[in-house]
Amino acid sequence: MRLVIARCSVDYAGRLSAHLPEAVRLIMVKADGCVAIHADGGAYKPLNWMNAPNTIADNGDHWVVTNPKDETLTIRLHEVLSDTEYEFGDDPGLSKDGVEAHLQELLAAAPEVMENGLRLVRREYPTAIGPVDLLCRDSADQVVAIEVKRRGEIDGVEQLTRYIERLHHDSSLGEVRGMFVAQVIKPQARVLAESRGFVCVEVDYDALRGLAPDELRLF
């Protein structure tokens, strides 16, 4: 990973245009080609970014990042304060907690509870950026990428978005649609997911485990 702290300005050109005026920011370039520009605040979300695959033309005082859709991110470096690179190596990925892992297992065994006609292709379907929880096909034989969470939040939607972008590079899969599944989906996450064409499904973990509705529970 390359981390550059610089006084910079940024211009995006593509489906729309956006401009970040000159200021000190962190520019993060990941090994897979993702580029993200961060301010000193605002939690995890960058001010602007370009997901992989990209080509990065380093012209000294400015970079031009271009993706296959011909969208460009032009970063003008007015003053470089720090420029460092680190080798991270392979990442084992996020370990799911017991409930989330079991929920994925239960849904893999009964995919029709998420949608009629859904059938499992594979659990933990591999991509270059990590495994898709469940890869299924629907009643029309379209591929469905499914992200399973205990609590459905915005970061889970972003994760599913990245997976689908990677799956679209595999022409053998055809068109891939997304499904975001959780016990509870936060309203903001639902709005974001549906704006990206994903189906949102809330599931009852206890019902999947075969518990009767009136069975007494400690929690």
- 181 within domain boundaries: yes
Phi first, then psi, for residue 118 (nearest 5°) are: -75, 135
Question: Residue 91's pLDDT is what?
Answer: 61
Q: Is 0.85 topped by the overall pTM?
A: no
The CATH number for 125's domain is 3.40.1350.10
Last residue in a domain, options 24, 58, 85: 85
Residue 68, pLDDT > 90, answer: no
Question: Residue 214's pLDDT is what?
Answer: 44
Task: Sort 3 into a burial class: Cβ within 10 Å, 0-12 / 13-18 / 19+.
Answer: middle
Q: 86-111, pLDDT tens digit by residue?
A: 887 766 555 555 678 889 999 999 99
Last residue in a domain, options 85, 110, 134: 85
Question: Residue 210's pLDDT is what?
Answer: 74
Question: Residue 54's pLDDT is what?
Answer: 87
Based on the structure, what is the number of domains in the chain? 2
- 77 within domain boundaries: yes
Q: Which of 65-69, 138-142, 185-189, 204-208 has the lowest mean pLDDT?
A: 204-208
Same domain, 109 and 171: yes
Residue 185, pLDDT > 90, answer: yes
Same domain, 118 and 204: yes
**What domain range is 120 assigned to?**
98-208
Q: 134-167, pLDDT tens digit by residue?
A: 999 999 999 999 999 999 999 999 999 999 999 9
Question: Residue 218's pLDDT is what?
Answer: 35
pLDDT class for 212, splitting at 50, 70, 90? very low
Q: Are 198 and 179 in contact (CB under 8 A)?
A: yes
Q: What is the C-alpha separation between 69 and 118, in angstroms, rounded?
A: 31
Same domain, 112 and 155: yes
Percentage of the chain modeled with pLDDT above 90: 67
Last residue in a domain, options 55, 85, 115: 85
Q: Which residues, at least 6 apart from 96, have a Cβ–Cβ distance to it below 8 Å? A: 104
